[in-house]
Amino acid sequence: MSAPGSLEALIEALRVLPGVGPRSAQRMAYHLLQRNQAGARRLADSLAHALDVLRHCERCNSFSEQDVCGRCANPGRDARLLCVVEMPADLAVLEQSQSFNGLYYVLMGRLSPLDGIGPRELKLERLVARAMDGVVEEVIVATNFTNEGEATAHLVSELMHARGLRVSRLSRGVPVGGELEHTDAGTIAQALIERRPL
Protein backbone atom coordinates (compact mmCIF):
# COMPACT_ATOMS: atom_id res chain seq x y z
CA MET A 1 0.00 0.00 0.00
CA SER A 2 2.77 2.43 0.89
CA ALA A 3 5.45 1.06 -1.44
CA PRO A 4 5.65 2.20 -5.08
CA GLY A 5 4.03 -0.17 -7.58
CA SER A 6 7.30 -1.11 -9.26
CA LEU A 7 8.77 -2.10 -5.89
CA GLU A 8 5.71 -4.15 -4.95
CA ALA A 9 5.91 -5.86 -8.34
CA LEU A 10 9.58 -6.70 -7.83
CA ILE A 11 8.94 -8.13 -4.34
CA GLU A 12 6.09 -10.23 -5.72
CA ALA A 13 8.22 -11.39 -8.65
CA LEU A 14 11.10 -12.48 -6.38
CA ARG A 15 8.76 -14.98 -4.74
CA VAL A 16 9.10 -17.12 -7.85
CA LEU A 17 12.47 -18.21 -6.41
CA PRO A 18 12.34 -21.52 -4.54
CA GLY A 19 12.06 -21.12 -0.78
CA VAL A 20 11.58 -17.33 -0.88
CA GLY A 21 8.61 -16.01 1.11
CA PRO A 22 7.24 -12.46 1.38
CA ARG A 23 9.68 -11.31 4.07
CA SER A 24 12.80 -12.57 2.39
CA ALA A 25 11.60 -11.28 -1.00
CA GLN A 26 11.30 -7.82 0.59
CA ARG A 27 14.81 -8.10 2.01
CA MET A 28 16.19 -9.18 -1.36
CA ALA A 29 14.49 -6.27 -3.15
CA TYR A 30 15.89 -3.68 -0.73
CA HIS A 31 19.32 -5.27 -0.95
CA LEU A 32 19.34 -5.22 -4.75
CA LEU A 33 18.04 -1.66 -5.05
CA GLN A 34 20.03 -0.16 -2.21
CA ARG A 35 23.31 -2.02 -2.06
CA ASN A 36 23.99 -3.53 -5.45
CA GLN A 37 22.27 -1.90 -8.41
CA ALA A 38 25.04 -3.07 -10.75
CA GLY A 39 24.59 -6.66 -9.61
CA ALA A 40 20.83 -6.31 -9.89
CA ARG A 41 21.11 -5.07 -13.47
CA ARG A 42 23.45 -7.98 -14.24
CA LEU A 43 20.89 -10.37 -12.76
CA ALA A 44 18.02 -8.92 -14.81
CA ASP A 45 20.11 -9.02 -17.98
CA SER A 46 21.54 -12.50 -17.52
CA LEU A 47 18.12 -13.89 -16.61
CA ALA A 48 16.51 -12.35 -19.71
CA HIS A 49 19.46 -13.50 -21.83
CA ALA A 50 19.33 -17.06 -20.47
CA LEU A 51 15.60 -17.21 -21.16
CA ASP A 52 16.24 -16.00 -24.69
CA VAL A 53 19.10 -18.28 -25.69
CA LEU A 54 18.77 -21.45 -23.61
CA ARG A 55 16.75 -24.36 -24.90
CA HIS A 56 16.84 -28.11 -24.40
CA CYS A 57 19.43 -30.07 -26.36
CA GLU A 58 17.56 -32.28 -28.83
CA ARG A 59 19.63 -35.27 -27.82
CA CYS A 60 20.37 -35.03 -24.08
CA ASN A 61 17.53 -32.68 -23.04
CA SER A 62 19.90 -30.59 -20.90
CA PHE A 63 20.18 -26.82 -21.24
CA SER A 64 22.00 -25.76 -24.37
CA GLU A 65 22.50 -22.71 -26.53
CA GLN A 66 22.50 -24.90 -29.64
CA ASP A 67 19.96 -27.41 -30.98
CA VAL A 68 22.47 -30.13 -30.12
CA CYS A 69 24.90 -29.39 -27.31
CA GLY A 70 28.65 -29.65 -27.65
CA ARG A 71 28.84 -32.85 -25.62
CA CYS A 72 26.27 -34.71 -27.71
CA ALA A 73 27.94 -33.50 -30.90
CA ASN A 74 31.39 -34.65 -29.76
CA PRO A 75 32.45 -37.68 -31.89
CA GLY A 76 35.07 -38.58 -29.27
CA ARG A 77 32.39 -39.79 -26.85
CA ASP A 78 31.12 -43.36 -26.78
CA ALA A 79 27.58 -43.17 -28.19
CA ARG A 80 26.87 -46.79 -27.17
CA LEU A 81 26.54 -45.76 -23.54
CA LEU A 82 23.64 -43.53 -22.46
CA CYS A 83 23.61 -42.34 -18.87
CA VAL A 84 20.24 -41.12 -17.52
CA VAL A 85 20.37 -38.48 -14.77
CA GLU A 86 17.76 -36.34 -13.05
CA MET A 87 19.32 -32.88 -13.33
CA PRO A 88 22.22 -31.06 -15.01
CA ALA A 89 23.96 -30.84 -11.63
CA ASP A 90 24.10 -34.67 -11.56
CA LEU A 91 25.62 -34.71 -15.03
CA ALA A 92 28.26 -32.25 -13.85
CA VAL A 93 29.20 -34.51 -10.92
CA LEU A 94 29.56 -37.51 -13.24
CA GLU A 95 31.75 -35.47 -15.59
CA GLN A 96 33.91 -34.37 -12.69
CA SER A 97 34.55 -38.02 -11.80
CA GLN A 98 36.29 -38.34 -15.21
CA SER A 99 35.27 -41.99 -15.36
CA PHE A 100 32.56 -41.86 -18.01
CA ASN A 101 32.99 -41.12 -21.69
CA GLY A 102 29.51 -41.97 -22.95
CA LEU A 103 26.56 -39.67 -23.53
CA TYR A 104 23.81 -38.45 -21.23
CA TYR A 105 20.09 -37.96 -21.07
CA VAL A 106 18.84 -35.45 -18.50
CA LEU A 107 15.30 -36.09 -17.27
CA MET A 108 15.02 -32.58 -15.80
CA GLY A 109 13.21 -34.05 -12.84
CA ARG A 110 12.10 -37.32 -11.31
CA LEU A 111 8.85 -39.18 -10.74
CA SER A 112 7.08 -37.37 -7.95
CA PRO A 113 3.39 -38.30 -7.69
CA LEU A 114 2.88 -35.88 -4.77
CA ASP A 115 3.98 -33.00 -6.99
CA GLY A 116 1.95 -34.31 -9.91
CA ILE A 117 5.03 -35.38 -11.85
CA GLY A 118 4.35 -38.70 -13.58
CA PRO A 119 5.80 -40.40 -16.67
CA ARG A 120 3.96 -37.97 -18.95
CA GLU A 121 5.32 -34.86 -17.21
CA LEU A 122 8.84 -36.32 -17.40
CA LYS A 123 8.32 -36.89 -21.15
CA LEU A 124 9.80 -40.38 -20.87
CA GLU A 125 8.78 -41.08 -24.48
CA ARG A 126 11.55 -38.65 -25.48
CA LEU A 127 14.07 -40.74 -23.53
CA VAL A 128 12.77 -43.94 -25.17
CA ALA A 129 13.11 -42.39 -28.63
CA ARG A 130 16.62 -41.23 -27.79
CA ALA A 131 17.67 -44.66 -26.52
CA MET A 132 16.24 -46.38 -29.59
CA ASP A 133 18.56 -44.58 -32.01
CA GLY A 134 20.14 -47.88 -33.02
CA VAL A 135 23.52 -46.94 -31.56
CA VAL A 136 22.85 -47.07 -27.82
CA GLU A 137 23.68 -50.51 -26.40
CA GLU A 138 23.42 -49.86 -22.70
CA VAL A 139 21.42 -47.41 -20.63
CA ILE A 140 23.04 -46.54 -17.29
CA VAL A 141 20.44 -45.24 -14.87
CA ALA A 142 22.05 -42.67 -12.57
CA THR A 143 19.04 -41.17 -10.88
CA ASN A 144 19.38 -40.39 -7.18
CA PHE A 145 19.11 -43.16 -4.59
CA THR A 146 16.13 -41.49 -2.96
CA ASN A 147 12.67 -43.02 -3.05
CA GLU A 148 11.67 -40.89 -6.00
CA GLY A 149 14.94 -41.53 -7.82
CA GLU A 150 14.62 -45.30 -7.28
CA ALA A 151 11.03 -45.28 -8.55
CA THR A 152 12.20 -43.36 -11.59
CA ALA A 153 15.04 -45.87 -12.14
CA HIS A 154 12.56 -48.74 -11.90
CA LEU A 155 10.24 -47.26 -14.51
CA VAL A 156 13.08 -46.31 -16.89
CA SER A 157 14.46 -49.81 -16.60
CA GLU A 158 11.09 -51.36 -17.46
CA LEU A 159 10.70 -49.14 -20.50
CA MET A 160 14.18 -50.04 -21.74
CA HIS A 161 13.88 -53.78 -21.11
CA ALA A 162 10.59 -53.81 -23.02
CA ARG A 163 12.57 -52.56 -26.01
CA GLY A 164 15.40 -55.04 -25.64
CA LEU A 165 17.98 -52.59 -24.37
CA ARG A 166 20.57 -53.45 -21.73
CA VAL A 167 20.09 -51.44 -18.55
CA SER A 168 22.39 -50.91 -15.60
CA ARG A 169 22.27 -48.84 -12.45
CA LEU A 170 25.06 -47.04 -10.60
CA SER A 171 26.27 -49.31 -7.84
CA ARG A 172 25.35 -48.61 -4.26
CA GLY A 173 28.61 -46.85 -3.64
CA VAL A 174 26.45 -43.75 -3.43
CA PRO A 175 25.13 -43.59 0.13
CA VAL A 176 21.54 -44.85 0.34
CA GLY A 177 19.15 -41.91 0.65
CA GLY A 178 21.87 -39.55 -0.53
CA GLU A 179 21.98 -37.39 -3.63
CA LEU A 180 24.54 -37.46 -6.44
CA GLU A 181 25.08 -33.77 -6.17
CA HIS A 182 26.56 -34.15 -2.70
CA THR A 183 28.78 -37.15 -3.41
CA ASP A 184 32.54 -36.97 -3.90
CA ALA A 185 34.04 -37.82 -7.27
CA GLY A 186 35.85 -40.96 -5.98
CA THR A 187 32.64 -42.57 -4.79
CA ILE A 188 30.96 -41.65 -8.05
CA ALA A 189 33.77 -43.29 -10.01
CA GLN A 190 33.47 -46.45 -7.91
CA ALA A 191 29.74 -46.56 -8.44
CA LEU A 192 30.22 -46.33 -12.19
CA ILE A 193 32.69 -49.22 -12.20
CA GLU A 194 30.42 -51.41 -10.09
CA ARG A 195 27.23 -50.67 -11.96
CA ARG A 196 24.96 -53.72 -11.95
CA PRO A 197 22.44 -54.99 -14.55
CA LEU A 198 18.80 -54.26 -13.81
Q: Binding to a copy of itself (CB under 8 A): which residues in 79-118?
A: 87-89, 91-92, 95, 108-109
Our CB check for a copy of itself shows the closer of 33 and 132 to be 33
Starting at the edge strand found earlier in the chain, the sheet holding 166-169 runs: 102-106, 78-85, 138-141, 166-169, 196-197
90 φ, ψ (degrees, to nearest 5): -70, -40
Q: Tell me the closest approach of the beta carbon of residue 17 to a copy of itself, in angstroms.
A: 5
Q: Can you tell me which of 53, 68, 135, 193 binds a copy of itself, judged by CB under 8 A? A: 53
Cα torsion angle, 106, 176, 180, 168, sign:
negative
With respect to a copy of itself, which residue has the nearer C-beta, 3 or 132?
A: 3
Cα–Cα distances in angstroms (integers) from residue 47 to residues 12, 25, 42, 51, 95, in the given order: 17, 17, 8, 6, 26
Which residues have a Cβ under 8 Å from the Cβ of 171 and sit 6 or more positions away? 190, 191, 192, 193, 194, 195, 196
**135 lines the binding site for a copy of itself (CB under 8 A):** no
27 counts as binding a copy of itself under rule CB under 8 A: yes
71 contributes a contact to a copy of itself by CB under 8 A: yes
Q: Contact residues for a copy of itself (CB under 8 A)?
A: 1-7, 9-10, 12-14, 16-18, 23, 26-34, 36-37, 39-51, 53-54, 63-65, 69, 71, 87-89, 91-92, 95, 108-109, 181
